[in-house]
Amino acid sequence: MNNLRRVSSLKKLRVPYVVSAIALTVVVGFLFLTPEGGINRVSEPSNSSPAEFADDSFGEPTEPSSESVDAGLEYIETFTLTDRADGYGARPEIASNGEYIYIVYLGDLTTQRSHKVRIYDLDFNLIGEKVLATGSPEYGGVTDIRISKDDNYVYSFYEMAGKKTGASLFGAKYRMDGSFTKVAESDGPIATSAFFFDAVDGEETLNDPASIVVNGKVYLMTQITYKRGGVRNAKTLYRLRELSSDLSEIVDSRDIDLSEAMTGWAGLANLLEIGGAIYTIQGSLVSYPSGFSSDLRMVRFDADWGFDQDTDVFDLTNTEDTTETMPVGARYVDGYLFVSFRVGDVTVAAPENPTSRGELWLNMYDSNFELIDSVQVSADGVEGEHASVEVVGDYVYVAYGGSTSDAEREDVYVGVFRFRN
């Protein structure tokens, strides 16, 4: 796919590329949902436990090796999509139908914040831009926005919030065409709650809602605050809603308790489908001799949104010297799992707040969730936020918010990698 030439109208930021040959030894059996909602197990999971990462798992970046390897990620280029003239940008989400690339993000940070979309072709030539939502006196300003997709549509879920208005969660559905045409939206707020910083134990918070579309069903997951006793003793609770395909109706709602699988209060989650089963990925606190860090952990749900602690919980990272959080973006394509996340210094992440800012990384796993490669996405010392992943052909796109010379602002970047299988 020769579609990544340099485009003079966009600035580029070169970032280092890192190859890590460390593998996890988790072997996973896949579950397939039958039309009647039952489950067929294709292969039994092994009892192997994840291997420890080597001491140099996240060592100093090196230049790409010229030697051929069986599989892995090759850095291509990084595009800078916003700047001061645009009012900066943050928290991008990326989706593609193989013809267009859509970047949905929080824009106009220096004026009235708005949710925007930019539409690019596969060469990253800008085709169009439009505002999707702005703030209002009734609901407050726009904050977080997350998207999911099926073959034809992008589903956008976003929060509007303010100290006086509280928080409200909305949804909209867009056709993946050259205009990102809106075809449906929620009839008012899907949910309302307290302003994030005012939420008390047991109260739903609406920032960073994870969603997924499977077999025509739209699922939306939000967090439930539980801070009593400190983060190490907190419950890990989420609220799950099934929505109609036009987002006008809540078909079902339930709470999901992941406390058996995760340590720490409910954090930013990501939903993805693998082999007909739905998984969630988030950071979970883990203890080590001198304190706590956070590793990425994945849970596989059965048809009734339950899980078995012994067979459905998998560690994707296992480190003591770093803390891995914020797995916003993940894609499973043709037997490969791609997960973007943030790596922070565990010495900075206090036990009661283990989500220190850090650099962004991208991991590539095989169908058994064994680690094939790990690459650094944001440059050394460049703090990154909210990395989202899309795969088109043999290319992996990672959209993320990166710090700028103005420490109070971010810009939107897209790192491009080619993967070999």
| Each residue's pLDDT tens digit, 88-110 | 889 999 999 999 999 999 999 88
262 contacts 284 by C-beta, under 8 angstroms: yes
CB 316 within 8 Å of CB 272:
no
Domain ranges (residues) in the chain: 18-54+61-87+268-421, 89-265
Q: What is the pLDDT of residue 225?
A: 82
Q: What does the pLDDT read at residue 289?
A: 66
Contact 147, 29 (CB under 8 A): no
Question: What is the model's pLDDT at position 199?
Answer: 78
Q: What is the pLDDT of residue 321?
A: 76
Which stretches in the chain have pLDDT values below 50?
A: 1-69, 347-355
Q: What pLDDT does residue 357 have?
A: 62
C-beta contacts of 245-249 below 8 A and 24+ residues apart: 245/173, 245/184, 245/216, 245/217, 245/218, 246/173, 246/184, 247/155, 247/171, 247/172, 247/173, 247/184, 247/185, 247/186, 247/190, 247/218, 248/184, 248/186, 248/187
Q: What is the CA radius of gyration of the chain?
A: 20
**DSSP single-letter state for residue 50:** P
For the question of whether the overall pTM of this predicted structure is more than 0.85, the answer is no
Q: How far is residue 236's CA from residue 269's CA, in Å, rounded to a whole number?
A: 11
